[in-house]
Amino acid sequence: MIRLEFKIFRFDPHVDREPHYKKYTVRAEPWERLLDCLNRIRWEQDGTLSYRMSCAHGVCGSDGMKINGRCALACQKLVKDYQDAEVLLEPLPTFKVLKDLVVDLEPFFERVELVRPYLIATGSPEKERLQSPEERKKVDEVIRCILCACCTGACPVSNENPEFLGPATLVQAFRRIFDSRDEEQAERLKQLDYPDGVWGCVNHFECTRVCPKSIPVTKSINLMKREIEKG
Amino acid sequence: MIFKHDVVIVGSGLAGLRAALEVADGLDVALITKVYPTRSHSGAAQGGIGAALGNEEPDSWEWHMYDTVKGGDYLTDQDAAEVLATDAVRAIYELEHMGVPFNRTAEGRIAQRAFGGHTRNFGEAAVKRACYAADRTGRVILDTLHAEAGKRGIKAYSEFQLVDIIMNDEGVAGVAVYEIATGRLHVFHARAVLLATGGFGKVYKVTSNCFANTGDGVYLAYRCGIPLEDMEFVQFHPTGIYGLGVLITEAARGEGGVLRNRDGVRFMEQYAPTIKDLAPRDLVCRAMMKEIREGRGIDGRDFVHLDLTRLGKEKLADKLSDISSFAKIYLGLDVVTDPIPVSPTCHYMMGGIPTDIDGRVLNEKSEPVQGLYAAGESACISVHGANRLGCNSLVDLVVFGRRTGVKIRQELEQMNWKALPSDPEARVAQIIGRLKGKGKGETAARLRAEMQQIMTDRCSVFRNEKDLEAAMSEVKALKERYGEVTVDNHGDSFNSDLLEAMELESLLGIAETILLSASARHESRGAHFREDYPERDDENWLKHTLIRQTDRGPVISHKPVTITRFEPKARTY
């Protein structure tokens, strides 16, 4: 068992004037997840702590938060990698805090809707639409997106400019633009061709660094810029 | 406050979403979910969705139906299996048309791969039937259906937790719901309610299920006097990451992975000579446990190895990248060169709320309950019988989710608004008041951990009367202690402490139904293996279990299995 010190952001806007930090000590096995530690804190020490979680293995995207300054999923980080320093847990930046580590993601999901994140194609073939493995490969990385909002939380542009579409939304746009079955590639690209669209990205690469699913987010955004430039 | 919608769907996984798409046109439908829709547990499904497309090799729906029936150890209702197998093909093309990014064959068709228990020509050899998008098939289908729902403007109430079903003598009037962000109780008045609340793997300690899978809908239906069907049939998945229970898809074996014991022996060759590692899950779990019990676990311990090293780097990256990353993140292993330590993990519930093949919930007399429907893992149609085959769950969700939606549309015209009682949320308000009451009582977390340990120790892959008896009295004691539970957190916003305490009532209630049903069935069939009754007994037990809450406590009864095409035979692979 390892002894781990946590310092956790606490804020209940209905009660507190200002956020504060609270410290906790947890004993955990080296192979356990930071999420397991959070659960132990809530179950054994302080039932008032709030955070989201569900699948606990990096598929549902619920437990995005800032861990020692870096956006990540608490269920993907193991105790053994944090044994020498205090673990600082804070809510995802950019978003409004609803309670402790829980942020308001409604605007995030609403923004994804803007890029029409569904296939647009005419005709109804009897069987499947054909798509070559090479065509399908183009979306292989972006379909890993779990909408955890870590990239958008980490993006320096999104932090400063609430109008920027943000990396997650752009990944969702990419997913349809580079789907050979979609018939609105040109319109979709046009929709992104404005300063707060694809051009808002100035290659900080923070999104790519933090993505829990290893999606090359910045590269994907740059590919869309290139398509737009091609005209 | 009181919300009013024609149709209320509880649960935003694939079953709920697919049903919602069907009823959305012209009807006012509300989707209620305790998480955000894209966080639903359908998204954790990895390996594939089964349909006899025949894109890789000859296949037929009859073979699929046969495999489903045999996989379910002949407890499967064959009318339901026929619907599943025949409609699966249409359902896959529909998903493809909606934009699901399936992997492709060289000809550009939907790629398919082998999965446990799926065979050609009635058991001859494994067949490639599972359509897939790498090992994130559930997630991409969930994303696709969710986007489609958004396009249709379906109203979703995210982070609204079901806390009661409101019924009167006529049928269902609506549901009571707790709003997680504010702590407010709401009533949803509806003409039709669809329960698509998923499974309840959190009854067990080691499970592939998410924290949200606490069986709220199933338990609340039971509380209202609806019987539950076949609750003893709990599926354990052979390849959970040892200790964590995180799923490693069966597709890993479908692509060529094998299980090995301490001596490096591919032991499934002895247990299922024809399809070996691709035997159904119940059989593979028992084989693994036998190896472990006889000292052939790795280093004599309680796990075996899943060896994917023979697949090669490229195949693993192309087709199994998520599970490769799980092994890397949680175990520090490179699956290209290292075997994965695995042991059975609670994965899926064959039992649930009894329905007909159109999703109508059936009472103890097998009559439809006015206005109440169920689909997905929370329902028992029963299309999976005593043991579900891999890649048959996703297809169940979209096939029967759609059918239920169609049925709701048909029936809604004749369905009136049933009157709400004067204080529909009173029962729940009282529970919350008690949980937030004074005094340091029992904690929900402690009770839950004890329950999970009991269920795992005494009612897992192997069962016997002695263990089940002990477990029943232990769970009964926990239920009594549940009355003493209080919560630390008296706040209104994102109070997980309170929500989990409420969920624990469901979990304990469900645990009891599993134990009682398991104790009553004196035979071994599918996932229910009794050490004291090791044989299948068709003469006495080819029937479904029903358990119902009455004034005298839980009562067990039975109903016949629907057999159409395939007479029960010995089940070997």
Q: Output the six-digit token pair for A22.
A: 């609270």
- Helical pair B393-412 and B137-151, crossing angle rounded to 10 deg: 20
| Residue range B329-333: mean pLDDT, rounded | 97
Give A42's contacts in chain B (Cβ within 8 Å).
445, 496-497
**For residue B566, how many other CB atoms are within 10 A of its CB?**
17
CA–CA separation, B398 and A69 (whole Å): 41
pLDDT digits (tens, 9 = 90+) for B487-511: 999 999 999 999 999 999 999 999 9
Give A214's contacts in chain B (Cβ within 8 Å).
325
Judged by CB atoms closer than 8 Å, whether chains meet at A47 and B487 is answered as: yes
Give B38's contacts in chain A (Cβ within 8 Å).
60-61, 146-147
pLDDT digits (tens, 9 = 90+) for B127-136: 999 999 999 9
Judged by CB atoms closer than 8 Å, whether chains meet at A100 and B104 is answered as: no
B18 — pLDDT class (breaks 50, 70, 90) = very high
pLDDT at B182 over 80: yes
| Residue range B78-102: mean pLDDT, rounded | 98
Domain limits, CATH 1.10.1060.10, in chain A: 106-230
CB pairs under 8 A between A and B: 162
pLDDT at B183: 97
Judged by CB atoms closer than 8 Å, whether chains meet at B246 and A57 is answered as: yes
Contacts of B139 (CB under 8 A, 6+ apart): A59, A146, B43, B44, B45
ipTM above 0.95, yes or no: yes
**For residue B297, how many other CB atoms are within 10 A of its CB?**
21
A124 — pLDDT class (breaks 50, 70, 90) = confident
Chain A within 8 Å of B141 (Cβ-Cβ)?
no
Chain A within 8 Å of B445 (Cβ-Cβ)?
yes
* Distance to chain A for B491, nearest Cα, Å: 8
Among the partner-chain residues B330, B494, B497, the one whose CB lies closest to the CB of A99 is B494
A231 — pLDDT class (breaks 50, 70, 90) = confident
CA–CA separation, B9 and B190 (whole Å): 10
Helix ranges, chain A (H): 34-40, 106-114, 133-137, 150-154, 156-160, 167-177, 185-192, 206-210, 217-230
| Interface probe, candidates A10, A14, A60, A109, chain B, greatest B C-beta count within 10 A | A60
CA–CA separation, B383 and A2 (whole Å): 47
Give B40's contacts in chain A (Cβ within 8 Å).
60
| Interface probe, candidates A81, A114, A126, A128, chain B, greatest B C-beta count within 10 A | A128
A85 — pLDDT class (breaks 50, 70, 90) = confident
Beta bridge partners of B161: B178
Beta bridge partners of B345: B237
Choose, from B281, B458, B463, B571, the residue flagged as catalytic. Answer: B281
* Distance to chain A for B36, nearest Cα, Å: 8
The answer to whether domain A2-103 has CATH 1.25.40.20 is no
pLDDT at B312 over 90: yes
How does the average pLDDT of chain B come out, rounded? 97
* Distance to chain B for A165, nearest Cα, Å: 18
* Distance to chain A for B379, nearest Cα, Å: 21
- 8 Å CB contact between B135 and B321: yes
Nearest CA among B42, B212, B211, B49 for reference residue B143: B42
CA–CA separation, A164 and A194 (whole Å): 10
Nearest CA among B15, B11, B16 for reference residue B36: B11
pLDDT at B310 over 80: yes
B533 — pLDDT class (breaks 50, 70, 90) = very high
Chain A within 8 Å of B487 (Cβ-Cβ)?
yes
- 8 Å CB contact between B199 and B348: yes
pLDDT digits (tens, 9 = 90+) for B231-281: 999 999 999 999 999 999 999 999 999 999 999 999 999 999 999 999 999
pLDDT at B441: 81
């539970």: which residue's tokens?
Answer: B485
Judged by CB atoms closer than 8 Å, whether chains meet at B330 and A42 is answered as: no
pLDDT at B521: 98
Beta bridge partners of A3: A27
* Distance to chain B for A143, nearest Cα, Å: 7
The proportion of chain A whose per-residue pLDDT surpasses 70, expressed as a percent, equals 100
- 8 Å CB contact between B455 and B511: yes
- 8 Å CB contact between B161 and B33: no
Give A15's contacts in chain B (Cβ within 8 Å).
491
Give A56's contacts in chain B (Cβ within 8 Å).
210-211, 246
């002949």: which residue's tokens?
Answer: B74
B409 annotated active-site = no
Q: Which amino acid is at B452?
A: Q
Contacts of B265 (CB under 8 A, 6+ apart): B296
CA–CA separation, B304 and B266 (whole Å): 10
Closest chain A CA to residue B490: A48
pLDDT at B25 over 90: no
Judged by CB atoms closer than 8 Å, whether chains meet at A126 and B494 is answered as: no
CATH superfamily entry for domain A106-230: Alpha-helical ferredoxin (1.10.1060.10)
Please name the helix (run of DSSP H) or strand (run of DSSP E) that holds residue B348, with its range, or none.
strand B340-349
Closest chain B CA to residue A101: B494
DSSP state string for B104-149: B-TTSSBPEEEEEEEEETTTTEEEEEEE-STT-HHHHHHHHHHHHH
Judged by CB atoms closer than 8 Å, whether chains meet at A59 and B43 is answered as: yes
Question: Which of the four CATH numbers 3.30.365.10, 2.60.40.420, 3.40.50.620, 3.90.700.10 does domain B234-347 have?
Answer: 3.90.700.10
CA–CA separation, B244 and B207 (whole Å): 8
Chain A within 8 Å of B104 (Cβ-Cβ)?
yes
Judged by CB atoms closer than 8 Å, whether chains meet at A62 and B36 is answered as: yes
The secondary structure of chain A in percent helix, strand, coil, rounded to multiples of 5, reads 40, 15, 45
| Residue range A173-179: mean pLDDT, rounded | 98
A123 — pLDDT class (breaks 50, 70, 90) = confident
pLDDT at B440 over 80: no
Among the partner-chain residues A48, A121, A130, the one whose CB lies closest to the CB of B488 is A48
**For residue B26, how many other CB atoms are within 10 A of its CB?**
8
pLDDT digits (tens, 9 = 90+) for A194-210: 999 999 999 999 999 99
Say whether the peptide bond before residue B382 is cis (omega within 30 degrees of 0): yes
| Residue range B298-325: mean pLDDT, rounded | 96
Domain limits, CATH 3.10.20.30, in chain A: 2-103
Chain A within 8 Å of B314 (Cβ-Cβ)?
no
Give A176's contacts in chain B (Cβ within 8 Å).
99
Judged by CB atoms closer than 8 Å, whether chains meet at A143 and B140 is answered as: yes
Domain boundaries, chain B: 234-347
Chain A within 8 Å of B493 (Cβ-Cβ)?
yes
CA–CA separation, A39 and A43 (whole Å): 6
* Distance to chain B for A208, nearest Cα, Å: 17
Judged by CB atoms closer than 8 Å, whether chains meet at A98 and B494 is answered as: yes
* Distance to chain A for B208, nearest Cα, Å: 8
Question: Phi and psi at residue A172, in whole multiples of 5°?
Answer: -65, -35
Judged by CB atoms closer than 8 Å, whether chains meet at A60 and B92 is answered as: no
- A68 by Cβ neighbours in 10 Å (0-12 / 13-18 / 19+) ranks as middle
B305 — pLDDT class (breaks 50, 70, 90) = very high
pLDDT at B346: 98
Chain A within 8 Å of B86 (Cβ-Cβ)?
no
